[in-house]
Structure 1
Amino acid sequence: MSTANPNRRPLSALLAVLLACAAFLVAPGTAQAGTPAAPTRTAPAPTPASAQALNTMFATYGDTSGRWNGGDSTVSVPLPDGRVAWLFSDTFLGPVNPDGSRPDDNKFVHNSLVVQSGDALTRTLTGGTPAAPLSLVGGERDGERGNAGYWVAGGAVEGRSLRVLYNRYRHTGTGSLDIALAGNALATFALPSLALTSLRDLPLGSTTAWGQSILRDGVYDYVYGTEFAGQGRYAHLARAAADRLGGAWEFWNGTGWSTREADSARLLGASTPPTRWSGRAAATSWSPATAAPPSAPTSSPTRPPHRPAPSPTRSRSSPLPSRPRAGR
């Protein structure tokens, strides 16, 4: 965990990893037959930006907006109208001092959303009010004893909604990292307003944080998760029908698919989030696996996804405490 002063922002930005995230913006998933019609695109999708351009965009917004000035666990989702939803977990809110440091009265929430339009960030979404903000998701539980918040995992557009998986955490002690996974939830945001319309717990356990990556392949959305086992981290794989993250899931058990999460097999040790690379699914890992990865769907090559992908970015603001996140 970083020992940097939380009220001081380093001069060099830490958003270079967003370059890799931005590369995904040019290849949104193809809608499947029978799914709800997506909103009409009214603006061109953003193209990948350089690390410097991304740093400048976030630095400018953090310094001048008076709203978002730092967050972690970054997830970006391109929207049908050409905007981008940047989803964050722990977030600092409020104006910064002229020297780039944070005032002691900056607000802090467990999650937020920042909207990109064109090459600029234009809007910060949270719960509550600007004067008394709450977490965007689960804000009604802010301040509740034992609640450590809902931390963003992965997101995808489904028809006229943005669906986002969140991992819910609880405090287990008084230390900043005395936390444990408490469950997984699915949030739904209406498009194009991005208003939160529902949040529901998923019928999943509390040993695997699901949604570390979501990969569309044919008629399925593949959902990657991370099991926390002592000091170990293990990747798991589930799938749901495309555009149906809120529906029934199946879990890879080492040889086939099961409807029981308890049957889910460990694919890899700690790994980077899966994605496509040269038409194949690829992942990198740095500890032994206990089960061989399944073959990918017939429309893709043999292994579940991954090329080395970025870890969740910490903003140019000072780092927030590390947390046990999959391959991050």
Structure 2
Amino acid sequence: MGRLLHIGALFVIAALSATAALPQCDISVGKGSPATEWNEIFSRNGPGWTGGDTTVSIELPNGDSAFFFSDSFIGEDPQLPGDGSVYLNKNGLRLREPNCLPPICGPKPEVIHYVYNSIVVRSKDGKTVRTLTGPKDKNGYSTSYFKPQGDDPNHMYWLGDPIIVEVGGKKKIWMFLNEWDVARPFDKSFWIKYRSQAIAQMDADTLAIEKIVDLRNKSDESIWGISLWLNEKKELYIYGMRNEGRIEGVKRSTLELANRYKKLYIARVDASKGLDFAADLRNWTAWNGKSFSKRLNDRRSIIPANDSISDELSIRRLTINGKPTFVMVTFDTSVGYSDWKDLYLYSACEPQGPFMTKHFVYRTPTAGQKKLPGMTAAESLQTGMSVYNPHMHPQFTKDGRLLISYNSNLPFGAKPGDSIFADFYRPRFVWVPIAGLATN
């Protein structure tokens, strides 16, 4: 009996030693709750930004925060020709003035003109908010802040993640840009086609665009720059994604099936050598499951094989219980697009993960919602709303709670008339408590 106890004790010690050898960066999370004050901040009626998606943010050197949006509604005066405004009816329902006239849309103003991207800058004290777009075009409409070369109205940049780097002793913002051709409101059907990617360099103080450099030597359609992190050695860690699965009959398959094949990768490059160096994938190394390798095609996913994540997400290094911890926020996308609603947090000790353990933190009430504040009993959206692409904003951490946003929109196939209801298309915000979370 004594010998058996001795052997058993050795097994226990060995198991404990093996466990201790593994990085232990699990987190303890509480139930998320709506961040009402932030929902109100981004229920804006104009002038300026009145709705958009992506919703990534960065704290600027002066303490202000810049929020970067992809497709954006802009409300300005005068309304026509130009951007539509948002107004409240007698019941408090936020409504957009239809404004998309020929030659942009037509012949009926059934839809709202929008720009492909914009920036909203909120002052450190929260007292001022300003919108940045491109200049007005010849028809009086706002244009996108980040624009590819040429005048093709179907050619656009969708925004990735921004990060502050130091170039030549000065602080700059690098922003990943995803280049697409996409249908406009006047097109008969929705379509989208991938082109390439680029990185924009901006002055961190003025947000002026200094240059845009295309990614070079990119061999596939992976989308890089969905999240970024810069370490103390000036190594830029770049998260990317690609649907690797070759699904039989993929055009007939459901999103529930297709999303099971979504993979998350990480690469890195020396940011101290400047943007032109960083934009050349020959200078990148990618995580292959054991180390960072020059062979980018040997990359390995850093999430569990059976998990399905958002097309956009955030990974940030936070201080939790006094130690650096990498935290990822994502929707569970293992169900069809219209049914996405559950937010999860993952954690890891290293930027390359692995992100193995996930914690459910919030179920969005917005998914499937047909009623908006101010609607009468007879009014409703023709289709329930969809939610997607969560991001975290750690510069606003308060009382151990992390601020997270997610986008809301009309689902694919929605009726054009629903676009007049302003609240369908704006970010929603959530506070998520994390035990031991330090203020950023």
Larger Rg: 2
Show the counterpart of 2:239.
224
- Match among 60, 71, 79 for residue 52 of structure 2: 71
Alpha-carbon separation, structure 2, partners of 1:287 and 1:96: 32
The 2-side partners of 1:294 and 1:265 are apart by 16
Residue identity matched to 1:221: L
Contact between 1:250 and 1:261, CA under 8 Å: does it hold in 2? yes
Letter in structure 2 aligned against 1:250:
T
Residue matched to 1:256: 291
1:52 correspondence with 2:63: no
Match of 2:178 among 150, 167, 176: 167
Report the counterpart of residue 153 of structure 1 in structure 2.
160
Contact 1:273/1:306, CA 8 A, preserved across alignment? no
Q: 1:116 aligns with which of 113, 118, 122?
A: 122
| Equivalent position SS for 1:317 | helix
Residue 313 of structure 1: which of 407, 413, 416 is its match? 407
**Cα distance in 2 between the residues matched to 1:256 and 1:174:** 48
Q: Call closer, same or farther: CA 1:182–1:304 in 2, change over 3 Å.
A: farther
Residue 210 (structure 2) aligned to one of 171, 181, 197: 197
CA contact (8 A) 2:51 2:74 kept: yes
- Give me the TM-score of the superposition, normalised by structure 1: 0.67
Q: Partners of 2:189 and 2:211 in 1: how far apart?
A: 31
SS at match of 1:262: helix
* AA at the equivalent of 1:104: P
What residue is the counterpart of 2:229 in the other structure?
Answer: 215
Q: In structure 2, what residue type is equivalent to 1:214?
A: L
The question of whether the paired residues in 1 share the 8 Å contact of 2:54 and 2:407 is answered with yes
**Structure 1 stretch displaced more, 238-247 or 221-230:** 238-247
Q: What is residue 136 of structure 1 aligned with on the other side? A: 145
Could you tell me the percent identity over the aligned residues? 25
Aligned: 1:296 with 2:337:
no
1:96 aligns with 2:105: no
Give the distance between the partners of 1:282 and 1:83, measured in 2 at CA: 23
Match of 2:39, SS?
A: helix
Query: How far, CA to CA, are the matches of 1:245 and 1:153 in structure 2?
Result: 19
Match of 1:21 in 2: none
**Are positions 1:241 and 2:270 aligned together?**
yes
Say if 1:190 and 1:197, in contact at 8 Å, map to a contact too.
Answer: yes
Structure 2, gaps ≥5 residues long: 1-33, 76-84, 100-111, 246-257, 335-346, 360-391, 393-403, 410-421, 427-440
Distance 1:311 1:56 in 2: 13
By how many angstroms is 1:142 displaced? 5.6
Distance (whole Å) between structure 1 residues aligned to residue 201 and residue 327 of structure 2: 29
The change in CA–CA distance for 1:217 and 1:141 in structure 2 (over 3 A counts) is: same
* Distance in 2 between residues matched to 1:212 and 1:305, nearest whole Å: 19
Whether the aligned pair in 2 keeps the contact of 1:57 and 1:119 (CA below 8 Å) is no
Note if contact 1:284-1:306 (Cα within 8 Å) is conserved in structure 2: no
Change (3 A) 1:85 1:257: same
TM-score (norm 2): 0.51
Aligned-partner Cα distance in 1 for 2:406–2:199: 19
Deviation at 1:119, TM superposition (A): 1.0
Structure 1 letter corresponding to 2:298: D
Aligned length: 258
Q: 3-state DSSP class of the match of 2:300? A: coil
In structure 2, give the amino acid aligned to 1:122. V
Q: Name the amino acid aligned to 1:317.
A: D
| Distance in 2, Cα, partners of 1:116 & 1:319 | 20
Q: What SS does structure 2 have at the residue aligned with 1:274?
A: strand
Question: Which amino acid is 1:189 matched to?
Answer: M
Q: C-alpha offsets along residues 75-113 of structure 1, whole Å, 9 cap, x if unaligned?
A: 000001111110000001112123311111143111111
- In the alignment, the residues of structure 1 paired with residue 315 and residue 356 of structure 2 have an alpha-carbon distance, to the nearest angstrom, of 4
When residues 155 and 243 of structure 1 are mapped into structure 2, their CA distance, relative to the original with a 3 A threshold, is: farther
Q: For residue 233 of structure 1, what is the amino acid of its counterpart?
A: K
Query: d(CA) in 2 for partners of 1:108 and 1:304?
Result: 37
Do the aligned partners of 2:327 and 2:348 also contact (CA within 8 Å) in 1? no
CA RMSD in angstroms, aligned pairs only: 3.4
Amino acid at match of 2:325: R
| Cα distance in 2 between the residues matched to 1:224 and 1:128 | 32
d(CA) in 2 for partners of 1:93, 1:55: 18
Which 5+ residue runs of structure 1 have no aligned equivalent? 1-49, 321-328
CA distance in 2, matches of 1:136, 1:253: 36
Instruction: Show CA shifts across 1:148-197 (max 9, x none).
Output: x2111101112321111111223499643x32432221011113111111
Matches within 5 A, 1:263-274: 263-268=298-303, 269-271=307-309, 272-274=313-315
Q: CA deviation at 1:215?
A: 2.1
